Structure 1
Amino acid sequence: MNKSLLILAFSLLLASSCASEKDYLVTISTEYGTMYAILYDETPAHKENFLDLARSGRYDSTQFHRVINDFMIQGGDVFTQEGLPPDDWYTLPAELNPSLIHEKGSIAAARQGDRMNPEKRSSGCQFYLVDGKVYSEEELTTDIPKLQKAFTQYLQLDSNVELRENYRRLYQNQEIDSLNALMLSKKVVLEQFFNVNLELDKRKNQVEAYTTVGGTPHLDDGYTVFGKVIKGLEIMEKISGLETAPNDKPITPVYMDVNVEMVSKKKITREYGYKYPEE
């Protein structure tokens, strides 16, 4: 190999090494403060699409147009803001990954429902930030809809008058957490009485995340998670708690500006607390 080829090979190797030591830091600025995020390499199509929209300024002045307390905040409707015809609203193929879940702070792609969208393709622009809640392990690993059905049938027994009255009182007062606790307390009884299995399998990473930081586990494996807020979760919480009009739209519009810059991974870890997986 001649000298010029050696220099070229070394330069390419050095450039590749430097690139792997840096990552894109995303800033989502609102009047309530700024959130900082990273995007996952495991979802390359979603990552590059988000970066393209952000770098071109197309996310700027879009809104968080749908917010639900203790659930999520959704925004980035570039296509509507730009007045694009629906035929130009492109979608992205799903990039579902069992290691990327809807823990608190996750960034995921919005999409149409399964009936219209069986391939689970993502919106080309809209995304949401996960708020959610913390679950007990028993709650997380129980098939709640199946539990509710069995519990409702069990309440009809003449011998369960007192239990039925307790349930009615909690329901009237909308004490949802107490309602769930009451049903879960009868889980073993219901399994034995109806000869049913009310268990729900969850992966180790799901149990660890949802019983500590929390999130929205029922969305896992159905929507593409492609990033994570690593600083500024309190800003998301403020926005999710805003007063809303019909369709969960904030009464006072919440605008965003989105920017990206290349930052060393060491700095992201040092200043924002995000620890990169071992390469």
Structure 2
Amino acid sequence: MKKSILLMALIWGFCISTFAQQKNQYVKIETPQGWCLVKLYNETPVHRDNFIKLVKSHYFDATTFNRILKNFVIQGGDQDSLYEKGHVLKPEMYWIAPEFVPELYHHRGVVAMGRDGNAAESSFTTQFYIVDGKTYTDEQLDAIEIKYKNHFTAEQRNAYRTIGGTPRLDQHYTVFGEIVKGIDLIDKITAVKVDKAGNPDTPVWMKLTLLTDKEADKILK
């Protein structure tokens, strides 16, 4: 038993070390309102690699940000209805198991995968969202911890008090990246005119590009 525990600890330590050493990859998101640069997390490799595959195939370029909810999220990719009502899903459309990492949370600017209400909390492969959110008090965060069975660290609480986010989604939806340049795009997109359901009057198209290291470094300078 002790040997098994030691082996598991060594494997976990190796995985963490590998994630830390692996260089991050970056995706540029362009829209009619402007652009932003997203850093993909290595801690969620399945979601990262799925996203990269779809970006490379230009899958998302044929979709839009179809659900824009100020103070909550900007959702894009395939709509829920395509999963719920579609008789035949496209090859790219399926579910992937969640990759919940306590250190990755829904602060403003985070990018995560959408899903339906499945019990396993598995993600849709072709739907993602960007967090807008709002700020919270400690009392509100206490209530969310109880209701959604979460635990917020001091760092997370400070982020939710100051820059905001959507804390109730933590450990229920998989976070796999964050905006590191051009976060003002959130304000520009949430300023577009939408109906009560968050559907924009004018389509908000998107173009996603996986950048080379040199291209990403140039933007980040």
Q: TM-score range by the shorter chain?
A: 0.7 to 0.9
Counterpart Cα distance in 2 of 1:30 and 1:269: 17
Counterpart Cα distance in 2 of 1:202 and 1:143: 10
RMSD: 2.9
Q: Which structure's CA Rg is the greater one?
A: 1
Contact 2:36 2:183 in 1 (8 A): yes
Give, in angstroms, the shift of residue 261 of structure 1. Answer: 1.5
Aligned residue for 2:106? 102
Aligned residue for 1:57? 58
SS at 2:35 equivalent: strand
TM-score, length-normalised on structure 1?
A: 0.63
Higher helix share: 1
Cα distance per residue 1:75-98 (max 9 Å; x no partner): 011895xx9923753111100111
Correspondences of 1:114-263 after superposition (within 5 Å) = 117-142=118-143, 202-263=152-213
Contact 2:101 2:171 in 1 (8 A): yes
Give, in angstroms, the shift of residue 265 of structure 1. Answer: 11
SS at 2:27 equivalent: strand
Aligned residue for 1:34? 35
Alpha carbons of 1:269 and 1:245: their partners in 2 closer, same or farther (altered >3 Å)? closer
Alpha carbons of 1:45 and 1:203: their partners in 2 closer, same or farther (altered >3 Å)? same
Contact 1:43 1:95 in 2 (8 A): yes
Alpha carbons of 1:140 and 1:21: their partners in 2 closer, same or farther (altered >3 Å)? closer
| 1:111 matches 2:115 | yes
Contact 1:25 1:36 in 2 (8 A): yes
**Structure 2 regions of 5+ residues with no counterpart?**
1-20
| 1:86 matches 2:89 | yes
Counterpart Cα distance in 1 of 2:213 and 2:26: 6
SS at 1:37 equivalent: strand
Comparing both chains, which one has the higher relative contact order based on Cα–Cα distances under 8 Å and sequence gaps of 6 or more?
Answer: 1
Counterpart Cα distance in 2 of 1:127 and 1:144: 24
> How many residue pairs get matched?
195
Alpha carbons of 1:212 and 1:118: their partners in 2 closer, same or farther (altered >3 Å)? same
Alpha carbons of 1:46 and 1:268: their partners in 2 closer, same or farther (altered >3 Å)? farther
| 1:66 matches 2:67 | yes
Runs of 4+ that moved beyond 6 A: none
Counterpart Cα distance in 1 of 2:129 and 2:30: 15
Amino acid at match of 2:26: L
Aligned residue for 2:24? 23
Amino acid at match of 1:267: D
Counterpart Cα distance in 2 of 1:58 and 1:103: 26
Q: Give the percent of matched residue pairs that are identical in Structure 1 and Structure 2.
A: 37
Counterpart Cα distance in 1 of 2:170 and 2:94: 23
Give, in angstroms, the shift of residue 202 of structure 1. Answer: 2.7
Contact 1:96 1:225 in 2 (8 A): yes
**Structure 1 regions of 5+ residues with no counterpart?**
1-19, 147-199, 272-279
TM-score, length-normalised on structure 2?
A: 0.78
